Structures are given as structure tokens and as C-alpha cells.
């Protein structure tokens, strides 16, 4: 989406960085026209970093599960701080190693000296401490980081009222330092980062968006657009026919590991934000159906199929990613529409009356938006935002 001024951001990556904390800013910033370079001090462009899923499974401490493999797109040794407008450092265990890497600290210090925004989440505040940037600064982080921040001369701040990870919503800004406990606060993190980069949000009206999901919905395909739309001011809800507000769905990670089909691993949990009985098509401007295996579950539920049909009948925007087109085909909304889809959905699109656009990752046709899968999410968010009358410009 067009910007008055071109902007760029740098993400410092490492093995076992938190999956969401790298991919959400990477894809959402791109969706709104920001160039994003991802580097790691010991790896080259095209090489991959392992990521980690941090999720509560009922134990005293959060669990760490294997996440996606994240592909780097730029060379650490060629980083010029003057070419970037912001720095993002995801959380995760890699930050312990990089906190004693002088090359990393030199880059972080240069961003600080230039007054450019630096985003830290979860444990990456350790790198700020190592770089000597926390003195007199208010900062938040995962609770175990409190002594680190205080010993480094920072002022600890903690969001009140947190009883579960889903209560985490705050991003604290002190000067150019942006800090948060972690990924559940991505909507506010992105909003604050956009503002710090000089962004203005343009919208023709207030928008409400409903995500229709279920267990084993694709992790990125739910969370990335969900947080992106929240960040630009949309009211966003998640609903499923069989669960109540406050209950959770498990997500699935689908990743290319060299097999004929993508592998599947357990992802983050997501929280349902609305009761099915309270949902009315009149309260929403748009319906999003992410992929994963949840559409296969929803297509067997008459209430879910009927809801999709109601959104179509009321001429609302409807969007599907990956396997989400299974449900859209069952509801008859693909007939005569141009669609982008991966190999696994080509038969469903064809027999559902859709027209394949095989060379495109994302396609809009009227008020329908379709995307092949999570790698096309920047384009998907851009197309969807345009239909909703949303845009960002940077000054």
C-alpha cells in the first residue's frame, strides 16, 4: 500500500526466537509498504533460523515448542543503520547469546544514538541492558526480566490486571524504546511502532471483522491478519460454533520441511472473543476464514456454512486463506470468482465454480479476497485493507 515516504525496518534474528515475534512484524510491516530486512550475525541470506512457540500448557512455566523455519533475506555484515527507520528484536533464547555479541550491540547502540525506534519483546530487553540503553528508561518485559531491567538502571513497569497471557495488551514507549511482555500485545506493539515511524492511518469508516475458526486453524493465517487489523483500528473478533467466549482453540503450524506436503506441528493457543449465539452479520463488515485443518471441521457444521452464506447475501467482504477456501466453496461463494489457491485447494475451487489464478499469491474479485497460504499474507492484508477502506501513509 502506497506511502508518501518509503520506510524500512531491520529485524535481528537468531535460532529459537519466538515465532510470532518475528513473523508478525515481518509480514504486517510489509503489508503496509515497509521494506523489512531480516539478518543474523552467523548466517547468510537464504539460510534459516529455527523459531520457538511459547505457549502455556498448564505447567508452572510456559512451554517451548518447535515453530516454523524462518528464512533470512539480508546479510548481517552489510547492515547500514542509516538505511533503516526502525529496529525489531524478537524475544527468545537467542537473545542470551547475542547479548554478548559486540557486532549486535554495536548495531543496537547505533539505532539508539540515531533516536530510531527499537522494539523489544519478552526477553530481548536483555540486549538493551547489555548495550547500556536502559538507564533511567521505563521498560516492561516477561516478569523474569525485572531484575535485569532494574540492575541495568531501568525503571520496571508492569501492566496491571494480568491473569493469563491473553490479558497482555500493553506496549510501553519511553523515548525511542518500545517494550512489551510478548506476542499477545502485538496489536498495540504494531500501532505504537507505526506511530513512531510517522505513520498516519486513513479510514473511511470504523470496521468490524469476524474470524471464523476452530481447532487446528493455521497459526500464522489466523494471528497475522488478526493483529494487523487490530493495529489499524478495526474491532476484531474470533468465533467458533462449539466454544464460548474466553475458551481457547489450538492452532497448527504448517511448514515446508522438504516433504511432499507441509509438516504439521502444534502452534500457539488462540482465545475465542465472542459467543456464537451473539454473532450477527449486521455487526460486521468482513468475514475472514483462515486455513489449516479447521475449515475441514467447520464445513461439517451447518451453522458455520450458513454464517458464510449470510455474509455473502448481505454483500459483506469475505476473505479466505489456504484451506479456508474449502468452507467458502461449500457455502457457494466462489462461483464465478477469480481465486488464488495452493495445489491442495485447486480441486475445491474448480468444483466450487471458481476460476483459478495460478500465478498470483492473492486475488481480489469484487468483495472476495483469496490467498494461497501464509507466505502470501502481506499481499492478503493489503488487499483486505483496501476493500475495507484502510490505508497507511508515512511522513
Matching residue, cell 525511542: 176
pLDDT surpasses 60 at 3: no
The Cα–Cα gap between 76 and 370 comes to 35
The fold adopted by the segment(s) 6-196 is Rossmann fold (3.40.50)
What class, spelled out in words, does domain 202-392 have in CATH? alpha beta
Question: What is the tens place of the pLDDT at every residue in 163-220?
Answer: 877 788 899 999 999 999 999 999 999 999 999 999 999 998 899 999 999 999 999 9
Domain boundaries of the chain, sorted by first residue? 6-196, 202-392
Question: What is the tens place of the pLDDT at every residue in 40-79?
Answer: 999 999 999 999 999 888 887 788 899 999 999 999 999 9
Beta-carbon contacts of 258 under 8 Å, excluding residues fewer than 6 positions away, are none
Within 10 Å of residue 151's Cβ, how many Cβ atoms? 10
pLDDT surpasses 80 at 336: yes
- Note whether 20 and 185 are within 8 A (CB): no
Within 10 Å of residue 195's Cβ, how many Cβ atoms? 14
Of the pLDDT bands very low, low, confident and very high (cuts 50, 70, 90), residue 1 is very low
Q: Kindly state the average pLDDT of the residues 4-8.
A: 81
pLDDT surpasses 70 at 329: yes
Cell for 358? 495460478
- For residue 332, is it left (φ>0), alpha (ψ between -120 and 50) or beta? left
- Note whether 220 and 228 are within 8 A (CB): no
> What percent of the residues of the chain are helix, what percent strand, and what percent coil, each to the nearest 5?
35, 30, 40
3 state DSSP class of 240 = coil
Amino acid at each position: 500500500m502506497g506511502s508518501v515516504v518509503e520506510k524500512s525496518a531491520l529485524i535481528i534474528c537468531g535460532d529459537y526466537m519466538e515465532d510470532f515475534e518475528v513473523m508478525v512484524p515481518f509480514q504486517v510491516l510489509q503489508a503496509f509498504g515497509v521494506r523489512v530486512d531480516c539478518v543474523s550475525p552467523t548466517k547468510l541470506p537464504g539460510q534459516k533460523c529455527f523459531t520457538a512457540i511459547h505457549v502455556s500448557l498448564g505447567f508452572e512455566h510456559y512451554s517451548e515448542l518447535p515453530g516454523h523455519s524462518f528464512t533470512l533475506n539480508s546479510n548481517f555484515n552489510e547492515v547500514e543503520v542509516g538505511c533503516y527507520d526502525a529496529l525489531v528484536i524478537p524475544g527468545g533464547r537467542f537473545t542470551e547469546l547475542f547479548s554478548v555479541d559486540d557486532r549486535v550491540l554495536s548495531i543496537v547502540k547505533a539505532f539508539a544514538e540515531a533516536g530510531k525506534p527499537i522494539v523489544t519483546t519478552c526477553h530481548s530487553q536483555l540486549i538493551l541492558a547489555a548495550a547500556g540503553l536502559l538507564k533511567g528508561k521505563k521498560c516492561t518485559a516477561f516478569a523474569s526480566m525485572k531484575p535485569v531491567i532494574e540492575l541495568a538502571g531501568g525503571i520496571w513497569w508492569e501492566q496491571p490486571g494480568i491473569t493469563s497471557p491473553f490479558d497482555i495488551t500493553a506496549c510501553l514507549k519511553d523515548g525511542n524504546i518500545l517494550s512489551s511482555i510478548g506476542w499477545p500485545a502485538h496489536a498495540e506493539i504494531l500501532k505504537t511502532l507505526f506511530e513512531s515511524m510517522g505513520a498516519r492511518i486513513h479510514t473511511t469508516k470504523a470496521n468490524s471483522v469476524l474470524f471464523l475458526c476452530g481447532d487446528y486453524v493455521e497459526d500464522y493465517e489466523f494471528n497475522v491478519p488478526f493483529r494487523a487489523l487490530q493495529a489499524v483500528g478495526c474491532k476484531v473478533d474470533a468465533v467458533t460454533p462449539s466454544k464460548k467466549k474466553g475458551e481457547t482453540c489450538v492452532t497448527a503450524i504448517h511448514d515446508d520441511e522438504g516433504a511432499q506436503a507441509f509438516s504439521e506441528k502444534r502452534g500457539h493457543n488462540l482465545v475465542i472473543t465472542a459467543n456464537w449465539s451473539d454473532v450477527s452479520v449486521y455487526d460486521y463488515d468482513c468475514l475472514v476464514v483462515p486455513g489449516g485443518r479447521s475449515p475441514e471441521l467447520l464445513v461439517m457444521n451447518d451453522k458455520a456454512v450458513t454464517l458464510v452464506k449470510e455474509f455473502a447475501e448481505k454483500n459483506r467482504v469475505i476473505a479466505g486463506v489456504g484451506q479456508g477456501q474449502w468452507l467458502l466453496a461449500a457455502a457457494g461463494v466462489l462461483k464465478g470468482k477469480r481465486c488464488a489457491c495452493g495445489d491442495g485447494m485447486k480441486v475445491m475451487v474448480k468444483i466450487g465454480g471458481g476460476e483459478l489464478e495460478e500465478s498470483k499469491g492473492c486475488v481480489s474479485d469484487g468483495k472476495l479476497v483469496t490467498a494461497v497460504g501464509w507466505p502470501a499474507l502481506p499481499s492478503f492484508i493489503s488487499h483486505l485493507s483496501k476493500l475495507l477502506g484502510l490505508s497507511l501513509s508515512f511522513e
